[in-house]
Structure 1
Amino acid sequence: MPKAVRLYVAYVDAVNRWVGRIAMYLVFVMMGILFYSTLSKQFTLPALWTLDMAQFVMVAYYLLGGGYSMQLGGHVRMDLLYGGWSDMRKAWFDAFTVLLLIFY
């Protein structure tokens, strides 16, 4: 592999690691928004924006954290079949399922 490609891949991996580690904290942001929603409803001052904002944060968490999870190999797989496959078949299957993850 050419040196320029290796440098590009290393750069993308580093950015992906950085973004993934930041995205981990979006769960706490979402929990805070939902907690605020609960408190505001208890005091009869419901904030209408909280459900939409929590959904947006969840989508950001899913999209930004997905690459980091794939980088670490943390996605759930059907190991009954996947474990016995060759590395090339695993790579093709991973490439196909990434498309399904994106469109989900």
Structure 2
Amino acid sequence: MVRMMQGYTRVLDKISDCVGIVSMYLIFLMVAVLLLDAVTRNVLDIPLHWCIEFAQFTLAAYYFMGGPKTLKDGEHVRMDLLYEKLSWRGKHRLDLIMSLCLLFYLGVLLWGSVSSLEYAIKTGERRFSMWNPSMIPIKALMVGCIILMVLQTISEMFKHVLALRGKTTEGTA
């Protein structure tokens, strides 16, 4: 069981790192699109109606895709008033409890996002705007990233269980 947990955490950490790196580069894409919009609108006097919405979708993708890596690296927001006063074991136990709460939240979020994706597919949902983009790709990405976030949360739980047992994720004690 320990080896399975260690293997799972290694694989999920690598996947989260890869998705996180792709997410980092989305900022450059968003900046490029916004620059294109500024130049075409203000210099060339040719407004491109899709630029702002595309930048919004890119920012949403950035947030969705960055979540698992942020969780993996422990760079999320934490209330440290009581946490810092806990023992090493206490911190791992509290993190396990918080991970269960996070799993519940992500489960509800996943349920809603799958429902929203199903609706978008059935109705061919489009954003009501001049560009009129389909909502299916961003909603599908949202579902995929929430699933990855659930899997990464399970990985974090395994790390805490392994730590409480005196094991590491690399397979050594």
**TM-score (norm: length of structure 2):** 0.52
Give runs of ≥4 in structure 1 deviating > 4 Å.
Answer: none
Determine the structure 2 residue equivalent to 1:80: 81
1: CA distance between counterparts of 2:102 and 2:4? 28
CA distance in 2, matches of 1:51, 1:68: 26
Name whichever of 16-25 and 89-98 sits farther off.
89-98
Q: Deviations over 1:36-84 (max 9, x none)?
A: 1111111211100011100111111101111101111111222223323
Aligned residues of 1:27 and 1:61 also touching (Cα < 8 A):
yes
Count of aligned positions: 102
* 2:11 is equivalent to residue 6 of structure 1: no
Displacement of 1:6 in angstroms is 3.0
The answer for unaligned runs of 5 or more in structure 2 is 110-173
Q: For residues 47 and 97 of structure 1, do their structure 2 counterparts lie closer, same or farther at Cα, with a shift above 3 Å needed?
A: same
The whole-number CA distance in structure 1 between the counterparts of 2:54 and 2:73 is 28
Aligned match of 1:89 in 85, 91, 94?
94
Aligned partners of 1:70 and 1:37: how far apart in 2? 33
Mapped to 2, the partners of 1:7 and 1:19 lie a distance apart of 19
Q: Percent identity?
A: 30
**RMSD value, Cα:** 2.2
Question: What is the rounded CA distance, in whole Å, between the counterparts of 1:78 and 1:10 in structure 2?
Answer: 27
1:47 aligned partner: 48
1:31 counterpart residue number:
31
| Higher gyration radius (CA) | 2
Q: Distance in 2 between matches of 1:37 and 1:84?
A: 50
Q: Deviations over 1:18-48 (max 9, x none)?
A: 1111211111111111111111111211100
